[in-house]
Structure 1
Amino acid sequence: MRWMWIDRVIAFEPRKRLVAVKNVSLAEEHLHQHFAAEGALAPCPVMPSSLILEGMAQTAGILVGSVHDFREKVVLAKVASATFERDIHPGETLRYDATIERMDDMGASTVGIVDRYSFVDNAWAPVGRIELMFSHLDQNRAGTEFPEENFVFGENFRTLLEGAGLRKFTRL
């Protein structure tokens, strides 16, 4: 099973920027464990920072992969930095805004800004900033076989792109 931590692509500037959103719902099982009720403490469901980071990695990875029409196997090579200013709760929407800082044959570096929309406050607010580095496996490990199922660019990914009107990329 491939976990998708973005729901929809809302903006795309080829070779530059991709923006995606994730609606956080109490129906998501991981929220019941993070943080569950304990003793006299009431439950306080919060989206784990690691999953917020994964959502940005998927957003930025799609952007990096799109540069070469998804012909390269793109993998997350390094989390250069990640800072988070606030927790994310059910009922809020995350917005991942990824931009490419550097791109070459071996990989790319990206910067991502994460915001959240609270329907209670009726406003966007900053959540954090994430700097990621990606590697092109085909360039860096030429001759090595890598199973296709290990990469994000599968059927769910195609459906996500098609829903965003990016049909050009769904014929992989």
Structure 2
Amino acid sequence: MRWIWIDKFKEFNSGKNAVAVKNISLAEEHLHDHFQGYPVMPECLMIEGMAQTAGLLVGEHGGFKEKVILAKVNKAEFYDYARPGETIEHHAELVSFAPEAASAAGKVYKQGNLLAEINLMFSHLDNNISSKRFPEENFVFTEMFEWLMRDYHARVKLEQS
């Protein structure tokens, strides 16, 4: 099973920036243990949500030809908690893009207030580890991520008509 930590895109500007939304629900099982009696969204999962948002920005900019993986968390500062019933937004900006790697700067907002700053580095597996053999199919950008992109483009098309 692959968990997707973003629900939809609000913005997606190829090669520049993206904004993705995550609605936090008490129906998410991991919240029942973190923390018992005071459920909050784990910070590591907000980092993963930013990695998915920025990773799709990186992958799309490269035409989804590379297998983009998170290589390094350069910065992860959290200023508050996110709780069930709240919505967070991952704002990712593409800082650099090269054949072998990319970097992104991110901010997470909750109800318009800065919740976290997360800066990430990504590696392109096919260009960096050429001596290793990987499956031909892109195992990073699965059908769920493809659905997120199709959904965003369909909503934009509807708004424009």
User: Same fold judged by TM-score > 0.5?
Assistant: yes
For 2:122, the equivalent position in structure 1 comes to 134
CA drift at 1:166: 6.4
Structure 2 distance, partners of 1:24, 1:57, is: 17
**Residue 102 (structure 1) aligned with residue 96 (structure 2):** yes
CA drift at 1:151: 3.6
Q: Please tell me whether the aligned partners of residues 14 and 66 of structure 1 are also in contact (alpha carbons under 8 angstroms).
A: yes
> Matched residue of 1:81: which SS?
strand
**Mind listing any 5+ residue stretches in structure 1 that lack a counterpart?**
37-42, 118-123, 168-172
Structure 2 distance, partners of 1:127, 1:90, is: 15
Matches for 1:1-172 after TM superposition, within 5 Å: 1-36=1-36, 43-117=37-111, 124-147=112-135, 151-165=139-153
Q: Please tell me whether the aligned partners of residues 95 and 116 of structure 1 are also in contact (alpha carbons under 8 angstroms).
A: yes
Larger radius of gyration: 1
For residues 83-113 of structure 1, give each alpha carbon's deviation from its aligned partner in whole angstroms, at most 9, with x where no partner exists. 0000000000010010011111111111001
| Number of matched pairs | 155
Q: In structure 2, what residue type is equivalent to 1:160?
A: L
1:166–1:98 distance in 2 versus 1, CA, 3 Å: farther
> Matched residue of 1:126: which SS?
strand
> Matched residue of 1:46: which SS?
coil
For residues 128-160 of structure 1, give each alpha carbon's deviation from its aligned partner in whole angstroms, at most 9, with x where no partner exists. 100100011111012422247884311111111
Structure 1 distance, partners of 2:14, 2:125, is: 21
Structure 2 distance, partners of 1:128, 1:136, is: 26
Q: Please tell me whether the aligned partners of residues 2 and 152 of structure 1 are also in contact (alpha carbons under 8 angstroms).
A: no
Q: In structure 2, what residue type is equivalent to 1:45?
A: P
Structure 2 distance, partners of 1:148, 1:55, is: 26
Q: What RMSD over aligned residues (CA atoms) do the two structures have, in Å?
A: 1.7
For residues 45-99 of structure 1, give each alpha carbon's deviation from its aligned partner in whole angstroms, at most 9, with x where no partner exists. 0000000000000000000001111010101000011000000000000100100
1:114–1:148 distance in 2 versus 1, CA, 3 Å: farther
Q: TM-score, normalised by structure 2?
A: 0.91
Q: Please tell me whether the aligned partners of residues 66 and 138 of structure 2 are also in contact (alpha carbons under 8 angstroms).
A: no
Q: TM-score, normalised by structure 1?
A: 0.86
Q: In structure 2, what residue type is equivalent to 1:62?
A: L
> Matched residue of 2:2: which SS?
coil
**Mind listing any 5+ residue stretches in structure 2 that lack a counterpart?**
156-161
Q: In structure 2, what residue type is equivalent to 1:70?
A: F
